Amino acid sequence: MTSPDERSHDSSGEPPDYTHNHSTLEPTRHAGQDSDSTSPRDQEDVARFSVPEIDCSSCAGKVENSVEKLDGIESVEPRVTTGTLTVSYDRGQTSATAIADRVEKAGYTVENTGELTSKFTVPEMDCPSCAGKIENALDRTSGVTTYETQPTTGTVVVTYDSSRAGEADVIDAIESAGYEVTDTAGDESGRQEPAEERERIWTSSRARKTWVSGGFVALGLLFEFFLTGQNIQIAGLLGTELLIADVLFLVAVATGGQEILRNGYYSARNLNLDIDFLMSVAILGALVASLVFGEALYFEAATLAFLFSVAELLERHSMDRARNSLRELMDLSPDEATVKRDQSTETIPVDEVAVGDVVVVKPGEKVPMDGAVIDGESAVNQAPITGESVPIDKTTGDEVYAGTINEEGYLEVEVTSEAGDNTLSRIVEMVEDAQSNKTEREQFVERFSTYYTPVVVAFAILTTVGSPSILGTTWSTAVVYGLTLLVLACPCAFVISTPVSVVSGITSAAKNGVLIKGGTHLEAMGAVDVVAFDKTGTLTKGELTVTDVVPLNGNSKEAVLRCARGLEQRSEHPIGEAIVAEAGEAGVPEREVDEFESITGKGVRADLDGTPHFAGKPGLFEEQGFDLNHVHATTDGGIVTQTARQMCDRNNCLDLLEETVPELQAEGKTVVLVGTENELEGIIAVADELRPEAKRTIARLEQLGVSRTVLLTGDNGRTARAIAEQVGVDEYRAELLPEEKVTAIEDLVEAYDGVAMVGDGINDAPALATATVGVAMGAAGTDTALETADIALMGDDLAKLPYLYELANDANGVIRQNIWASLAIKAGLAVAVPFGYVPIWLAVLAGDAGMTTAVTGNAMRLSRIKPHALLDAEQPAH
C-alpha cells in the first residue's frame, strides 16, 4: 500500500480490468423528507467487464442477448474496440456475478471479475485533514486495492476485491473515520441554491454550539478583565481554585470543543497527524496544565475551542463556494421531461426517458435530453453547453443538447442518448474526474506537506522545552508558545490552495463552453509559448463556397454554373457539393447527365445532353490539348469578376497558367475549370471561408503573451501562405500529411517550452496527442473529440481560445499566490511565536481559518473571468 498522504492509492500498480461504478440515483423527495434518509445501498449499479474475446459485432450480439435474459438489466453496451462490456442493472434483481455467468454462458471469458469500484458521497470530508483520516481507515481495510479522495467534491472512489470485502465494509471504514456516507450528491439536497446551502452551515448544530461557546468566552472575559471584583472562587478541582471566569471558560470548552475532540479521537484512532488531532492536543494540554500544574490556561483552551470551531465553519463555507460551481453545472439538467405518448403527453423523470422517445419542449423550458428536432422551430440558447452568447436557430433535423434553453418556439425532440450519456452528463463527469489528474504543483504540495507537520510539531516541542532556559520565559508562557505552534502545524490552507484553484478554473471554463479534462492541462495551457492551428475547420469554417465564376469564350456565368452542376451533382467531393449548392441558389436549370466518371486526382467527366464535358484541375485540360496561356474571357454584359480584368490589351485573353490560376490560389482558393473536349467554358473558384474571428483571435493571443503562432495544413503552399497572411500567424507549413503534422509538432515541442495544437479533434488526433496541450474545436456532442483532446471548445467558436489562455494563465498565477502566501504567512507566524508576537487567537484566525478562507476566495476569482467579444484586435479584452 502507498503512504497515507497520497490521494490515489494503488497496491497493485495496474488498473483493474473490471470496475463497478456505484452511481447515485436522483429520487423524488417529498416535502420534509430528510436528505440523508435514502440508504447509499439503494442505488443503480454500472458494471464494466473485461471480455477480450468480444472482437466483432457478432460476438457483441451474442453477449448482449445472453445478458438481457436476466431481470433488472437496464442497458448492455458491448465495445468491440476495447473488448469491454458495460452493464447498468438493478442490484435488487441481479448481481455482477450473475451477469458474468451470463457472459460465460454466451461462450466468452470474463477476466478479473473480483474487482469492484464504488463511488461514495462524503459531504463532511471537505479538507485534506478529513481525507487523511479516511485514507488511513481505508489503508487498514482488507481487500481495498485503490482509493481516491476528493475533498473539493466530497467524494471517495474505492476499488476493492469483492472476494475479501464488500461495499458495506468500505462504508464502515469511512464511517469509522468519523464521516457519514450519504446520498446528497444525487438527490435534491445536492441541488440547492448556494445561499440556502450557506445558511444551513451557519445554522447547523455545530454552528449553534459554537455561538454558545462564544457567549461563554465573552462572559469569561468580562469577569476576567472588567468585573475582577466579582470574579470570585466558586469551586475547586484537583487542588486548583476555580474562579467564575475559569468555570465559564471550561463551559465554553465543553460546548465548542465537542466536535474538535470527537474528530481528534478519530484522528488518533486512524493514526493521522492532522489539525483535529493537533487542536485536541492543544486544548487538552492547556486544560491539563491548568488543572494539574496550576498554570491557569483556561482562557487559552476556551479561545482555541471557540475560534477553531469558527475556523471550521469558515472552511466549510469556503469549500461549499467551490463545490457550488460544480453543482451549478449539475443543475443545468432538468429533473423531468414531457414525453409524447400516443395522442397525449406525460411528465416523467428524465431517468425514465428512453432513446427514441419524443419529448416536448415549450418556450422557456430546458431541453431535457440530447436529441434531434423532428417538429417545430425555435431559437435555442446553447450557452450552458457551448458558451455561445447568441441563441441558435433550430429546425427539423438539427441537434439539440440537454441543459440548453428553448427561447421562444415549440419543439418536439427525438431522444438520441440516455440521461447518463448525454453531452451535459459527460461534461459533469469529466469535470469531476479532472481532479484525479493532479498538477505538478499539487504533487509538490502533497510531498511537502508530509514533512511540514512533523517539522513544526518538533519545533513546538523544542520551543516549549527550550524557551524557559534560552529566552527566559515562564513555563506557562512556554506551554502557550507550544500550543500556538501546534495550531500552525497543520498545512490545510497550503494543501487545499492548489486543488480548489483547479476546480474553480475547470468548472468556470465548463460553464463558458470550454471543457478542460484535468488540472495538468489547465496548468500546461497557461505555460504555452506556441499555438499551432489546423486550417480547415479551425481557422476556416470548414464549409466550401463558390467565390468566383469567370465565363470564357462567349459563355455566360449561368451557362458555366449549369454545366458545372451537371458534372458535379453525382460527385461526393466537398468541392462538387459547393458548386451544386451555388448553382441551386442561382436557380440554373439541371441538365441530362449520362456516363458519369470520376477521374481520380484530376476531376470528373460526364455527357451533358449528349455532349462530353469535363470539370477539374488545369492539368486535366492541358492533357486535352488546350492552350491555357491564351484563353478568351467573356466581356459582354460587363466584367464578371475582378479576375477577368487581367486580360491582354488586344484579344481580351487570360493567361490561366501564369496569372489567373496562381492569383486565385494566392487568395486561398481552389480552381476548377469547366469545358468540353473542344472548348474551355469557364473557371470556378472555391474557397473555405475564413472564420471572421480568426485574425482577431491570433492578435489577442499574441497580446496575451503567446510568443509564436503556426499554421499546419495539408493544403498547397499558395493557399497556406494566403491564409497565413490574412490571419497574421508567424509561420506556416503546407502540404503536410497527418504524420508530418506530428513531426512538425515534435519539432516545436523541442524548440519551445509548451505547444498547444488546435484542431477538429478527429482528423488531427495524432497531432493533438503529440502537443503539450491538444485543443479540439466544436466538440459538443462529439464523443471522439471529447475523448481525444485535452481541452475541448464545446462551441465552434475560435474566439474562446484567448479566454482559455487567459484563464489558464490566471489560474497558474492564483495557484502560485496561494502556495507562497500560505507558506510565507505560516512560516512568519511560526518564527514569531517564540518571541511572543503571535497570540494563540491570531494563530487560529490568521494561520488556519484566515488562510483557508483567503486561498479559497482567491481561487473563486477565476469564475469572474469571462469570454469577451473580440471587437478589435488592438483592443484588450477587459
Catalytic residue set: 534
Separation of CA 20 from chain center: 23
876: which 3 cell numbers? 484588450
In our burial notation (b when 16+ CB lie closer than 10 A, e otherwise), range 249-265 reads: bbbbbbbbbbbbbebbe
What's the CA gap between 316 and 691, in Å, rounded? 46
- The residues, any chain, with a CB within 8 Å of residue 210's CB and separated by 6 or more, are 256, 306, 309, 310, 313
DSSP 312-343: HHHHHHHHHHHHHHHHHHHTTS-SEEEEEETT
Strand order in the sheet with 755-759: 514-516, 791-793, 773-776, 755-759, 530-534, 708-712, 731-733
What are the counts of helices (DSSP H) followed by strands (DSSP E) for the chain?
Answer: 28, 34
CB of 8 within 8 A of CB of 146? yes
Q: 3-state SS of 376-424? A: CCEEEECHHHHCCCCCEEECCCCEECCCCEECCCCEEEEECCCHHHCHH
C-beta separation of 257 from 283 below 8 A: yes
User: What's the order of all strands across the beta sheet hosting 8-10?
Assistant: 8-10, 144-150, 155-161, 115-121
Give the H/E segment covering residue 455: helix 440-470
- Sequence-distant (6+) residues with CB within 8 A of 876 are 703
DSSP-derived pairing of the beta strands 755-759 and 530-534: parallel
Q: Are 645 and 698 in contact (CB under 8 A)?
A: no
| H/E run at residue 247 | helix 244-256
Say if CB 534 and CB 764 are below 8 A apart.
yes
Q: How far apart (Å, rounded) are the C-alpha atoms in residues 252 and 231?
A: 17
Output the CA torsion sign for 234, 235, 240, 244: negative
Measure the CA–CA gap between 785 and 763, rounded to whole angstroms: 10
Q: If you ran DSSP here, which 8-state letter would residue 658 be given?
A: I
Residue 799, helix vs strand vs coil: coil
Asked if 768 and 774 touch (Cβ cutoff 8 Å), the reply is yes
DSSP-based helix, strand, coil % in the chain, nearest 5: 45, 20, 30
Q: Which of 17, 11, 14 is nearest to 100 (CA)?
A: 17
As given in the structure block, the three cell numbers for residue 834 are 517564540
Dist CA 423 CA 414 (whole Å): 15
Tally of CA atoms within 13 A in the half-sphere of 472 that contains its CB: 0
What grid cell was written down for 756?
A: 498547444
Contacts of 451 (CB under 8 A, 6+ apart): none
**Are the C-beta atoms of 350 and 186 separated by less than 8 Å?**
no
Task: Answer whether 390's CB lies under 8 Å from 405's CB.
Answer: no
Instruction: Measure Cα distances from 151 to 8, 37, 240, 764 in Å.
Output: 13, 23, 44, 36
**Burial class of 609 by CB neighbour count within 10 A (0 to 12, 13 to 18, 19+):** exposed
